[in-house]
Structures are given as structure tokens and as C-alpha cells.
Structure 1
Amino acid sequence: MVHSEDCNIIFRVRGILEFACQLDDSNEAQSTISKTFQSLRSKVSSNKLVFSVTNSPVLIWPNKSFQSSVESLTETSACGDILKYIESDNSGSKKASKKKDKFTGPTVVNMKMLFEVTEPAGNEAPSLNRVIRQQHCVRMPLPMDCVLSITNNENLANACKGLVEALSNQVSDMEEVVLRYRKGSSLLVPQPFHFQLPEPAGLNTVIYPAGVPDSQLQAVREDLHRKFDLPGDRPCLRRANAFRFPDEAYKDGYLRNPHVHLNPPNIEDAKLYLVQGVYSYHHYMQDRVNDDGWGCAYRSLQTICSWFQQQGYVETAVPTHTQIQQALVDAGDKEPSFVGSRQWIGSIEVQVVLNQLLGVTSKIMFVSQGSELVTKGRELANHFQTEGTPIMIGGGVLAHTILGVAWSENSGQIRFLILDPHYTGGEELQTIIDKGWCGWKGPEFWDQNAYYNLCLPQRLKTI
């Protein structure tokens, strides 16, 4: 495994292996399943295995002493040499592309797992087998998905060897999962998930059985947490924590983590204390809801809920305005007539909803006037270091989301990283950054004479 700081390329091989075998109710079923998986391991180690590099004319036979359809790619070629054969994505403006390139991580080389098809030998006579006992035919697709992190100057032949080994190991891991969750002749499809773990573990793959929820896999995760020396009080290996590759787009349309595209403020001796993990940006006018002028706290709450969802703490969807209002009614905080209204909510209501819908507790920080926020650097820094959750701040008729602070312990200077829910435009990252809808703000950003309440959500203690 190559450490992420040295990694320039992620090779990813995907494809389907067909699992098929005849099972009966005898004690030999487990042995039959294992023999079928052994044949699949032999298949990925055979000379018929072919890697087809996506968006390129390159075909590679990794088990044929490294043969390639491109003559210039030889056993001694570096991994980076393959990049010149991959077609670039020309969609979007040049300006957007430059912005995108600046923040993407390692280059992802996608490959398809294929197999040569040969005609059966003409001299071989067909054979017939008569089965006396009743058998059950089991067929299912095995969704292979292997990754290898590597430097671009590494030998390409060695990289392919590593991918073949990863494929073989993944077949073995799938066998273990299939056997563990087998009920007679009923088998669950094993599904691979990739996780970016702290060094030195790096990018690793875990196999989970399809159809079994995360709530029933805690014992498995506990073993993995011990294996990789992961924290015992926060989710790292739930499906929601799976690594998202730089070339994979989110399908729900929301922007993720726009703050990563900002440069840090220029404050001498200042340290950055930022939100940990992934959140989605919720703001006015999304979801076909016209909440311009009254929904800013609802949107900040949605951003916080998205954080808990995307860190794997909860599996519930981000609540709508109506669901937020109903939660306040159910908690006894509002009258039934509140549902469907356009009434504002504040930090206290955000605290109530988080507890009602997600079981999340929050601390409330009271500030009698905005000018006092400049003195809260240590408390805010401690929150982002220990909890790492977005903070909702409400004052007067406005609500915002605080994603971090830049704070100098020596001078006391501070800047606040603000995600503004009052934005009414489309999901245009460049506009959001350039116009300051997500940006660093000084103490003058706050109304110096208005009071503020801050809702600081606390992490749940779970894996």
C-alpha cells in the first residue's frame, strides 16, 4: 500500500464475475461453494484476463508476461505513461476545468475487467452427467471492484501484478462473506466498499453482504476498527463513509464542501480549525421551496443534518421544511398550526429538531452582543477539534453556518468561515466562492449590538 502523500494514481478495476454452482441440502454445500470460488480465483489468474483502460485504446493482458495492445507500453513502462492514452474530459468551460483540476486528488485510471473468449476444442466429445439427488442451481453476479494506489513512476507491470493479486484477494473475501451469511441454498451478494483510512492503512476495501443494514454489521465493524486501530466512538467503515473517487459526481445535485476551494486568511500565527468530514450546501430556493426571507435557519439545519448523514451517523434523509416543523410539534415546542407556516426558527429550535429526528444533543453558546464573538476563538477552536460538526448561529432575523475559525492564540485575531444559507442562485461553485456566499469573514461580519445563539451539535458515540 502506497501512502496517500506519495500517491499520484489510483488504478481501479471493475467487472462482473459470474458465480454459478449446484447446491443440495447435504453437508457438501460449503465445499461446493468454496470450489466455485477457487475456480474464480483461477480465472482471474489466467492468461485470459484482460484490462481495458476506459476512454483509451489500451488493452493489457496482465498475466501474459504483461502484453499490451499499445507497443510503447512495455513491462518497464512507468504507470504515468498510460495517462497520455486516456481521453481528457472536455466538458465545461476552460475556467471551470482549471478550477476543478486544482482541487482533485490523485488521477483515477478506470479499467474494465474482461476475459478472452475462445472456441471450444472441436475434438472434445460432449459429456453427460446424471444427477440422482435434488439440487438447487445458484447463480449470482459478483461485482468486482479493486483499487491500487501507486506513484506514477512505479513500474506498470508491477502495478498490474498488484491488481491481479487484489482481484484474487477480493474473491477470497467475497467467499468468506457468502459463507458467513449463507442460509441453506440462499446466498447474499457480496458488495465491495472502499475506505480512505488514516496512514499507514491508506485506501482499503471491505466486503459487506447486500441487504444487511449497517445496524446489523456492528460486530464486523468492531473487528475492523481493532484491525486498523480506528477510533472506537465514531463511524469510519459504514457504507456512508465509503471513499468517493475524484471522478465520481454526486447525483442529488447539492454541492459538497465548497470551503475546500478557499485560500486560508492571512493572519500571523493563526491556526485553522475546520469542520471535519463532508456536508452538503443547503440554501434558499432549493428543492422547489420558496423560503427566501424566512428559511435560513431551516437551511443551516439541513446542512448540519447532511453532515451527520454523510459521516454515517444516521441513515435518515435530510429533513424538509415540513418535516422540521412537524418535529417541533411532535417535541411539544410548537402548536400544530406551525406546520405549513413561514415562521422563523432559531438555534434553540435547531437543537430540539436535531435531538428529535437524529438523537443528537447540542450545546448552546449565548452571546449578548456580536462584538463578543471575537472572544470566542478558543471555544470555537475546541469545538472543531473535538466534534468537528457545522455550527448554526442565529441573531436577530439572520442565521448562518460556521464551518471553522482561523484563530491566533497569541494575538486573539480571528476569522470565521461562513456558509451563507441566504444564497438564492444555482449550484455554481465559482459564483458561490467569488461572491463570498462561502468565505472567510472578519468580526465586523456580525451585528456588533445584536445577541446571538450558537448551536454546537455533538457527535454521537457509535461506530
Structure 2
Amino acid sequence: MVVSDSNTTAAGTILRLKGQLDLKCQFDSTDELHMKTVISRTFETLRRKVRSDSLVLTVPGSPVIIWPNKDVSATPEEMTPTSTCEDLQRCMKADEEVTGKKSTKKKGKKMLTENVINFHLMMELSNPGLPSVPTLTRTIQNGHFLQTALPLDCVVRTTCNKTLKIACERLLKELIVQLNEMEDVSLQHVKGTALPVPQPFHFLLPEPKGLVTVVYPAGLHDDQLESYRKELHQRFELPEDRPYFRKANVYHFPDEVYKDGYLRNPHAVLTHPAMENSKLYLVQGIYSYHHYMQDRTDDSGWGCAYRSLQTICSWFQQQGYVEHAVPTHLEIQQALVDVGDKQASFIGSRQWIGSIEVQAVLDQLLGVTSKIMFVSQGSELASKGRELANHFLTEGTPIMIGGGVLAHTILGVAWSETTGQIRYLILDPHYTGAEDLQLITDKGWCGWKGPDFWDQTAYYNLCLPQRPKVI
């Protein structure tokens, strides 16, 4: 298990080393003790390879090649052991400009994230000390041969002013630790001649714990890993009512693209409102922004509550509470028919839904319970600061609010206990454009709103989803 630097600031650098090493085991018998001895011996051979001069680190998309066990020698010549991670990034950008590989994507507002430097692990095959003439030997024996590729993936969180020498030392240290973890997993789960591939997963824990790497045997479902996850919760002194180590919670690196096309957490780029003696109470975790006209569905004018519900469902999925995919409009309508809330004719219609229906669907599809807050008129919402702040502090889930013919998603509040002033962080499902973060935030489709945002005379129902108490 690997724990990163927890003292690193958000403007730091993530070093990520990926690659494969072949695990090859020759067993004379299927005796468990013999097999475990051979596996341990093979892992020790791999650790020696990692410490050898043959180990090479490359930086994808750049000319940089590093021999970390040869006094951190590197090419090109300007890269030295005392060069910093920032120097390495400049070298990568310079090569992009020379080779024409520079990104042509439209520039706009970006999330405030850490820089990521990716390294690829390789081994030199040639060895000057070996004879130049090939030697062929033939051995005949009975036994079992096992071969698999170990998917190595090590992460170090640091700062851009750290030297290449320090960066390589830390990466190699984490690589050895990961091989030790993989050995432990292999010894625990080997059965007969079958060996599940040990696979690393990265999880971001609450500060100050930071980024952690855990090795699981591939192919096992979260339910089969529950006892091990309980051990992890105890080791890191985490509460056992939140699923920090489920596979759906795997950390998404800043340089990775979400393949489904939805924006995540657009509120993260916003400037917080300046209010005297106020505190922020925000949604906890990751959600997707769902709005009108997505998924080739023309729901403009009637689907805002459906979209708010989809955003809420995405939160529960991406926090690892559920495996259920974000439901479509038809699946939402079918769920309401199944619970007896609607007639069969409702399926395929363009009828609105409200907070009560959102509550019913969350329970039916996800097994998630919700509280309902009734507000007789919009002017009363300004007095609900304490209740809303407490919700985001304890549950941290997005809130669906419906009033009149409109529905919105509340992602947080800025609230002053002394003055009663309040601002609401609103995600608006009525947006109909492309996934343009700059436009969405500049035009207020995701933004901070004052109490006058609500219709002062309309009634409102708020659906406050509750976290399931699961590990």
C-alpha cells in the first residue's frame, strides 16, 4: 500500500509510473508450500530487476529517457539529476512545439488541478557482459508453468521544485512497495495453478491522508472484498459507513478524459461568494452535470427534474454507493409506474415530475432514502440556512428543489450563522448547449445565487438524499 505526501499543496505535481513486469513461475508440483516458495522467489527476482542498471524510465510524448539506477543519468543532456520536475515539464512542452504535437483543443476555463507527469517503465534487453554467440540448451522435465503480466501503477504526490533524483528515488521506492503488496496478494489468493493478477487501484482519502494505492486481486467483486476493505478502514482510521475503497471510487487523474462526455463538478472553478462571517457547505465528492438535450433526448421544457435526478444518481454511482447506471428518462418513468405512482400511459410521455417522484425513484432504483423539506413560499428559503448547511456537512449529496414548473439542483450554500445571510450554489438543468465549462460558468448555469433567485410566492419541495450506511 502506498500513501502519498499529504502535505503537498493542490498546486503540486503528481508523478505516475506505469508499466508491466512478466511474472514467470515454474512449479515442480502443486503443493501449496512449494508454489508459495516459488512465487516469493520470483517476486524477489523482479525486485532485483527493478534495482538493476537495466531499468529505464521514459516520459511518453517526450524525448526524455532516464536510467534511475545509473546515478539518474538521462537524455537529452539538459536533463540532469538536479533538474526539477518543472524543468522536465518545460522539456516536454518544448518538444511538443518542435514536433507539432501541441494540443489544438479550444482554450477555456479549466479545473484547478495538479500537474501530472507520466513515466513508463521499461527494461534494457541487451547486456554487454553476456557472450555475443547465442547458447541453446534443452531441458526435459514435468511441471507447471505460470506466466502473467503484472500491471504496475505507482503514484507519488510531490511539488514541481523537487529534483529528478528525488523523484526517481521516491518512484522506485513505491515500485518496490507495490511489488511487495502484489506478492502478498498472490500468496493469499493462489489456488492450484490459478493465480489472480494483482491489480493496483488509487483512492483519494480525506486530508491529511491523501492519495493511497491499494492492490486487489483482479476479477473479484466489491462484495468479495468487504472484509479486506474493513481492514483498510481500520488501518486508516476511517468511518465504516462510507465506501472509500470500492472500485467505483477509484481516483480520476487530472490528465484523464471522462469517456462519457459529461462535465464533472463544474462548480470547482467558481469563486466563492464574499460574505462576512460566512462558511461554505458544499457537495462532497464527484457528480456529473446532466441538463436539457443531452443523450439525444429533447426534453426542453419538461425534463428539468429528470436531469436533476440524473445528477443525483451520478453522485451515488461515482461515490461507490451503487453500481446502477444513471437512469434514462424512460427508466425513471418505468420506476414510477412500478411503485404505483403513475399509470402505464406515463411511460414515453413528456410529463413533469417533482421532488416526491425523485424521492420515489431514488428508493426504487438505488435503494436510497431521502428527506423532503416543504417550503410554503420561496421567501422562506432564506431562513433554511442551518438545515441546508447541516445537510451538506453530514450527507454531502446534491439536493433537488422543485417549485412551480421549474427544478434545480443545489450543490451547496454559503451561510452566516451570525447574520443569516445566505447564497445558494445552483446547478441549472435548463441549459441546452454543449459541454462548455467556460460558457456554463460565465453565464451562470452553474453559479452562486442569492435569495431573490427563488420565486418569493411559489411553494417549493426539496429532496435531500441520504447516504446509505455501507462500507
Q: Which residue of 1 aligns with 2:30?
A: 25
Judged with a 3 Å threshold, the aligned counterparts in structure 2 of structure 1 residues 200 and 432 are, in CA distance, closer, same or farther, namely closer
Amino acid at match of 1:399: A
In the alignment, structure 1 residue 279 sits paired with structure 2 residue 292: no
3-state SS of 1:217 partner: helix
Q: Which residue of 2 aligns with 1:352?
A: 360
Offset of 1:299 from its aligned partner?
Answer: 0.5
Offset of 1:459 from its aligned partner?
Answer: 0.5
Offset of 1:282 from its aligned partner?
Answer: 0.5
Offset of 1:443 from its aligned partner?
Answer: 1.2
Q: Which residue of 2 aligns with 1:378?
A: 386
Distance 1:149 1:278 in 2: 21
Q: Which residue of 1 aligns with 2:99?
A: none
Amino acid at match of 2:26: Q
Contact 2:189 2:195 in 1 (8 A): yes
Aligned partner of 2:18 among 14, 21, 26: 14
Aligned partner of 2:300 among 285, 292, 308: 292
Amino acid at match of 2:182: M
Q: Which residue of 2 aligns with 1:93?
A: 106
Contact 2:112 2:268 in 1 (8 A): no
Distance 2:157 2:455 in 1: 49
Aligned partner of 2:345 among 337, 349, 352: 337
Contact 2:308 2:400 in 1 (8 A): yes
Distance 1:204 1:437 in 2: 34
3-state SS of 2:168 partner: helix
Contact 1:4 1:202 in 2 (8 A): no
Amino acid at match of 1:327: A
Q: Which residue of 1 aligns with 2:72?
A: 66
Offset of 1:7 from its aligned partner?
Answer: 6.5
Offset of 1:56 from its aligned partner?
Answer: 1.6
Offset of 1:388 from its aligned partner?
Answer: 0.5
Give percent identity, aligned residues only. 61
Offset of 1:375 from its aligned partner?
Answer: 0.7
Distance 2:222 2:272 in 1: 37
Question: Deviation string for 1:313-370 (max 9, x for gaps)?
Answer: 1111001111111111111222222222211111011111111111111000000111
3-state SS of 1:418 partner: strand
Question: Deviation string for 1:168-207 (max 9, x for gaps)?
Answer: 1111111111222222111111111112223443222111
Contact 2:11 2:115 in 1 (8 A): no
Offset of 1:6 from its aligned partner?
Answer: 7.4
Q: Which residue of 2 aligns with 1:108?
A: 116
Q: Which residue of 2 aligns with 1:368?
A: 376
Amino acid at match of 1:197: L
Q: Which residue of 2 aligns with 1:256?
A: 264
Contact 2:20 2:150 in 1 (8 A): yes
3-state SS of 2:420 partner: coil
Distance 2:235 2:244 in 1: 13
Offset of 1:223 from its aligned partner?
Answer: 0.7
3-state SS of 2:391 partner: helix
Judged with a 3 Å threshold, the aligned counterparts in structure 2 of structure 1 residues 30 and 307 are, in CA distance, closer, same or farther, namely same
In the alignment, structure 1 residue 180 sits paired with structure 2 residue 188: yes
In the alignment, structure 1 residue 128 sits paired with structure 2 residue 138: yes
Aligned partner of 1:55 among 49, 54, 61: 61
Moved more, 24-33 or 240-249: 24-33
Distance 1:138 1:337 in 2: 58
Q: Which runs of 5+ in 2 are unaligned?
A: 97-101
Q: How does 1:143-292 map to 2 (within 5 A)?
A: 143-292=151-300
Q: Which residue of 2 aligns with 1:452?
A: 460
Amino acid at match of 1:26: D
Offset of 1:124 from its aligned partner?
Answer: 6.9
3-state SS of 2:9 partner: helix
Amino acid at match of 1:280: S
Offset of 1:236 from its aligned partner?
Answer: 1.1
Distance 1:35 1:162 in 2: 24
Question: Deviation string for 1:37-90 (max 9, x for gaps)?
Answer: 111111111110001012221110001121111223223333332121112643
Distance 2:206 2:448 in 1: 28
Distance 1:149 1:164 in 2: 14
Distance 1:129 1:303 in 2: 62
Amino acid at match of 1:239: K
Judged with a 3 Å threshold, the aligned counterparts in structure 2 of structure 1 residues 341 and 7 are, in CA distance, closer, same or farther, namely closer
Moved more, 162-171 or 295-304: 162-171
Distance 2:68 2:468 in 1: 46
Amino acid at match of 1:25: T
Question: Scaled by the length of structure 1, what TM-score is found?
Answer: 0.95
